[in-house]
Amino acid sequence: MSDFLLELAANPQFRKIVQTAGLPVPMPQQLERTDAPYAERPLRHASILVGGGLTGAMGAALGRALIEAGADPMVAGHTTAPQTFTDPAEAFGRKVQDASQHEGSVDAILFDATEIGRPEDLVQLHALFHDWIKRLARCGRVVVLGRPPEDASSAAEAATAGGLEGFTRSVAKEIGRKGSTAQLLYVASGAEARVAGPLRFFLSARSAFVTGQPLRIGRTVAGEVPRFERSLAGKVALVTGAARGIGEATARLLAQEGAKVLCLDRPEDDAAVAKVAHSIGGEAVLQDITAGDAAASILAAIDGGVDIVVHNAGITRDKTLAKMTQEQWQQAVAVNLGAVVRINEALLKAKAIREGGRIICLSSVAGIAGNVGQTNYAASKRGLVSYVEHLAAEVASDGITVNAIAPGFIETRLTAVMPVMIREGARRLSALGQGGQPEDVGHAITFLATPGSVGITGDVLRVCGGALVGA
C-alpha cells in the first residue's frame, strides 16, 4: 500500500504550493535508506559536527570511531581541535576541520555530554545546537552521548543526565519533518570503546526510521573489538515468522552479512518460507512454535548450535476485553510470549546458543503504550520487555546479549487492510510523519545481531519513527 501524501511530498512543485499557501497538509520527507551490506567506511565523506567535552576516554573513542568510519569531523566550541581527534586523523592522513570555517550544511551533529554534571551545564546543548540545528541537512542525524543517570554520584548529576533524554526526544520531534533523527547513547564509564558499532548504525541510513531513542552501552557482556564487514560470516541465525514481512526482510539482511539463516514458519506457509530460504542460501524449518514438540524440533534443526535467535513470529487477535474470548486471549499470548519463553529455555538449557550469541525479541510500541482492543497483544508484547531485561542478566556471563525491538507503524500486509482513515492517522502520528518499512526493522535487528552491538543488552530499541504516543 503506497503512502499518497509521501508520494505527493516527493513532488517539489506540490510541496512548494502547500508550504507557500500555508495549507495544513503534512508533507513528510522521503527518507534516505540503504540496502547495501555493511562497509568498512560507511560514513565516508560525511560532514559531522562534534561538540561538547571530547576529551579523555570518551573523546578518544569518538575520534577514533568517526575517523575509522570515514567521516570528516569538524570541531565546535574548542579553540583548537582536541588531540583525541587530531591523533587518529593524522594516522589516517586526514585533518580535523574547524567548524567556524565551515560553510553550508552538515550531515550530522554529535554532542559529548559525558563530562557535564550540573543542571547549569545543560546550557552547553543550547550553545551548540542553537546555531547549528538549522544547518542540519535533510535526513540528517543527531547523536547525544551521556552517562547513565543510575551511575551518577549525586542527585544533581543524575538530574543532569536525565535531562539529556528530554532534550533528545524533543529534538527528534523538531527535526523529524525534514526526515532527520536524534538518538541518545548513555555510555557507562569503561565502555567508551563500544560506541563505534552504535555510531555506525545511528549515523547511517540504516537507522532511517529510528528516532528519539535512548540506549545504554555498558560492559555487562564480554566481547572483542569487532570487524564490521561481513561480521556474521560463519554464524547461524534462526528467524521465526520468516516467510514474509519483517521476518523475510530480517532473514535477507542477516544473510547479506554472511549468516546462514534458518527460516522458520508454520507448515501452512511451506511454499513462501521455502522460497525465502532458497533465495538466500538458507534452510526452511516448518514448525508451529506453539506445538508441544516445538522446542525439540527446533533443537534438532539447529544441530551444532546457533548464534542468533530472532523471535519475530507474532499474531493479533483484536477485540475489546468484554468481547474477547478466552481462546483469542490465549492464542495471542501463546504465540507472542509463551513460545518465546519456552524455546529460549530449551535452547539455553541445551547450551545450543553459542558464546557471543544474540537473542532478539519483537515487542511493539502498542504493547508498551497499550491500545484499545489489544489487551492480549499488549500483555504479551510488554511482557517481552521485562523478559529481556531479566534474561539479559542471567546469560551475560555466557557472552550472550538479549534485547527487544519495538516496531511502531510498519507498512505490511496487515496494515494494508486497515480502514484508510485509521491507516492515515497512524502514519502521521510520528515525528517522521510516515510509516516504516519491514527493512527498517530488519536493519535494527541486524545491528543488534552484530558483534558491534555487544555493549547493548537488556534494552528495547523502538523502530517507530518517533511515535508521538508511547515512545
Residues annotated as catalytic (active site), given as ranges: 377
Give the single-character DSSP code of 173: H
Is-contact 322 371, C-beta < 8 A? no
- CA 52, 58, 62, 64: dihedral to nearest 10 degrees? 140
> Phi/psi of residue 262, each to 5°?
-90, 115
Indicate the residue type of 40. E
In which element (H, E) is residue 286 found? Answer: strand 283-286
Name the 3-class secondary structure at 406: strand
Measured distance CA(382)–CA(261) in Å, rounded: 27
Is-contact 8 14, C-beta < 8 A? yes
Place of cell 514458519: 265
| Of the candidates 63, 51, 48, 50, the residue with the CA atom closest to the CA atom of residue 105 | 48
- What cell was used for 461? 530499541
- What cell was used for 6? 509521501
Indicate the residue type of 250. T
Give me the helix-helix angle, 294-301 and 339-349, nearest 10°: 50
CA-only gyration radius of the chain, Å:
22
Measured distance CA(231)–CA(453) in Å, rounded: 11
As beta bridge partners, residue 7 has none
Contacts of residue 178, Cβ cutoff 8 Å, sequence gap at least 6? 29, 136, 138, 139, 140
Q: What angle do CA 74, 76, 80 make, to 5 degrees?
A: 85
